Structure 1
Amino acid sequence: MNKKGARLANLYLIAVFAILYAPIAYLMAYSFNSGGTMHGWDGFTLEWYGEVFADTRLLIIVLNTFVIALLSSAISTILGVIGALAIRHVRRRQPRNALLSLNNVLIVSPDVIIGASFLILFTMIGIKLGFTSVLLSHIAFSVPIVVLMVLPKLQEMSPSLIDAARDLGASGWDVLTKVVLPYIKPGIFAGFFMALTYSLDDFAVTFFVTGNGFSTLSVEIYSRARQGVSLSINALSTLLFLFTVLLVIGYYFINQRASRSQARGAEGGRAVR
């Protein structure tokens, strides 16, 4: 690509990111507006953030959101790793492709359809809408994400590593815990953080399966926005966005550290040979 083409590509990327992030920047800027509206800047204030932290009900909803996100991410990571290992051990191509297709159904299906389906399911089997229904729903749509994050790392792993471990007398459990899991650790972390982010941001599915007396941040923000413009919504949305950014940054550094560790391990292995 010549310099002119590279310059146009960079301008295009800048324009795309500007369009994507301009509304978020606008929302964040007016979370510090003392005027109480988003139509004119009257001065800097932290009043709306103080209002958020003074709202006991909102703090309980924040706690509910993080408990759901952490629990669903941890459980879905465990199930996703098990699922990825199971798919990896399927030797025949057609059954493996069928399993991958089934895994991708919850990812490509519209959230409204998934939420309505879970609502019907929980109503039929008698699960009360609330904490349990939200947790199960978040686990269900997070497991396929974890599988997609872990499976490529399993496919990258050379079978000779497992064969060498078995030749040295390692048991099946030792192979799993000391060879396979350390190798796919970046994929596991990626799946966990992706599941955590999806759980924190999900609205459509949660809106269907949440019940009276239980809510999450996304549903609460939607409910408050319907009642009218309040800059406390801006403050709450800003805090949620910044936390998501911190998660992405944390995942980046963890992934970089894991990549450097694998590179040093590979260099050490070549030195020994």
Structure 2
Amino acid sequence: MNKSKSGASIYLAVIFVILYAPIFYLVYYSFNSGGSMHGYEGFTLQYYGEVFQDARLLIIVLNTVIIALLSSAISTVLGVLGALAIRRVRSRRARNSLLSMNNVLIVSPDVIIGASFLILFTMAGIKLGFTSVLLSHIAFSVPIVVLMVLPKLQEMSPSLLDAARDLGANGWQVLTRVVVPFIKPGIFAGFFMALTYSLDDFAVTFFVTGNGFSTLSVEIYSRARQGISLSINALSTLIFLFTVLVVLGYYWLNRRSSKRLGMGVPK
């Protein structure tokens, strides 16, 4: 038993090293005064200064954050409504069909989704830019929110709803005072997952981004094609740290919510 546990620990350690070694390599050389990734000559914050002095890059960062927050908020609302609608479907076959259609956007290759959105926006006459990127991010984020919320809805006992109705609550009160507080961890999970996906997405955004508008992932790709620059390392490091903070924030909120539920504190 101990040997199997130690073997599993070693296996996990190797996997994490493989996954995180390139990231730490990138972070390490973002502080290299030598200007390359071949020999570390000294510590410097020069490239971080270049990032913050680049006005165009700061606008792109703002665009990325606005797109991520807006798409996450809208997709969370739509995803919660979609999960509630799927949960209310009585036919098991119809419910499974809806779930299958919901999962198509998650398992489909990003290249196919991006090309499909490009064709759709072109046919609809929607100019590629902020609107097209926002709509596409909402579209691929909604299924993620649905998958995060549905398990919490399935955990909820129907007796809670019946008790609320017996006490005189109308439909809106049942939704806002019983259902939403119960599924709040799933809502937070869906929002932060959608936020992370939006911040990290490249393939879909690359297809639907027009002239004059860009996001960080597309900008990093464009700069990397021009040659190695440690400002890309610095920018990627900042994005990585921001993503880590978002994930930690989600777990903190989820843990806090679980503790409150366990203590029976009214919300």
TM-score category by the smaller chain? over 0.9
SS of alignment partner, residue 184 of structure 1: helix
CA distance in 1: counterparts of 2:102 and 2:43, whole angstroms = 48
CA distance in 1: counterparts of 2:255 and 2:8, whole angstroms = 27
Structure 1: runs of 5 or more not aligned: 269-273
CA distance in 1: counterparts of 2:141 and 2:22, whole angstroms = 27
Residue 142 of structure 2 is matched in structure 1 by 143
CA distance in 1: counterparts of 2:226 and 2:188, whole angstroms = 39
Q: Deviations over 1:214-240 (max 9, x none)?
A: 000000000000000000000000000
CA distance in 2: counterparts of 1:175 and 1:121, whole angstroms = 39
Code of the residue aligned with 2:181 in structure 1: it is: P
Residue 193 of structure 1 is matched in structure 2 by 192
Residue 255 of structure 1 is matched in structure 2 by 254
CA distance in 2: counterparts of 1:126 and 1:258, whole angstroms = 44
Q: Deviations over 1:108-143 (max 9, x none)?
A: 000000000000000001000000000000000000
Residue 102 of structure 2 is matched in structure 1 by 103
Residue 13 of structure 2 is matched in structure 1 by 14
Alignment TM-score, normalising by the size of structure 2:
0.99
2:89 corresponds to 1:90: yes
CA distance in 1: counterparts of 2:262 and 2:166, whole angstroms = 24
Structure 2 counterparts to residues 172-251 of structure 1, below 5 A: 172-251=171-250
CA distance in 2: counterparts of 1:161 and 1:197, whole angstroms = 33
Code of the residue aligned with 1:177 in structure 2: it is: T
Residue-pair matches, total: 266
CA distance in 2: counterparts of 1:230 and 1:195, whole angstroms = 30
Residue 119 of structure 1 is matched in structure 2 by 118
Q: Deviations over 1:227-266 (max 9, x none)?
A: 0000000000000000000000000010001111111128
Structure 2: runs of 5 or more not aligned: none
Runs of 4 or more, structure 1, over 3 Å off, are: none
Aligned-residue identity in percent: 80
